[in-house]
Amino acid sequence: MATDYDAPRKGDDESSDESIEELKAHRAERADGKVDVDEFDAAEGLELPGADLSGEELTVQVLPKQQDEFTCASCFMVRHRSQLAGENAAGQPICKECAD
């Protein structure tokens, strides 16, 4: 059977026929909640890839390794004890991600 895809369709999920005035009123209601934001103000805090950050200073507080943490011998990441998968052949700790 041939199907005319250009023909208008009505589905069961269309609850009622609304007039054009009602549709325009709904559109106006939705438009009232929008806030006009200037593109330049919105992008003020964004940095583009390759931007020169040589004048910026990064302040990070570094904590020493805690008693319940270990350093993975494969990826050298400090992980919580719950991430310990076992030890490698040399007896060094390995995390679950590196053990897979």
- CA-to-CA distance for 68 and 26, rounded, in angstroms? 58
pLDDT digits (tens, 9 = 90+) for 2-41: 888 888 876 655 555 567 888 888 777 766 555 566 666 7
Q: At 97, which amino acid appears? A: E
> Which of these, 68, 65, 67, lies nearest to 76 by C-alpha position?
65
- How large is the average pLDDT for residues 53-82? 92
pTM of the entire predicted model:
0.42
Q: Which residue would you say has higher pLDDT here, 84 or 37?
A: 84
The pLDDT, as a whole number, for residue 20 is: 83
Confidence of residue 85 (pLDDT cuts 50, 70, 90): very high
pLDDT of the residue at 14: 53
Q: What is the mean pLDDT of the chain?
A: 81
Residue 94: other Cβ atoms inside 10 A: 19
